Amino acid sequence: MPDPLSTLPWALAALAITLVAVLAAGRLAARLGIGAGPRQGRRLCVIETVPLDSRRRLLIVRCDETEFVLLVGGANDLVVCSLPNRQG
């Protein structure tokens, strides 16, 4: 059986090499634009959410510069209204 103290440096070296490889792959992906970075030009955005009870939520959602109020989580989801565009 190998001595645990003699294998510890090898295990730490393998861990360090793995971490360096993962970080390098992440930087390369970000530089090439294939990472999970911020997306430009998103069409759909949740502006605000308010829980009404344990199941239902009221959402304000923006899609293509138009905002909608949605009621979700009940027996069926419902578009409550469309909000007028805000200028300013």
Q: Per-residue pLDDT tens for 58-79?
A: 999 998 888 999 999 988 899 9
Tokens of 76: 């069926």
CA angle 32, 63, 70 (to 5 degrees): 130
Q: Mean pLDDT of all residues in the chain? A: 86
Note if the pTM is more than 0.85: no
Q: How confident is the model at residue 35 (pLDDT cuts 50, 70, 90)?
A: low
What pLDDT sits at residue 38?
58
SS3 50: strand
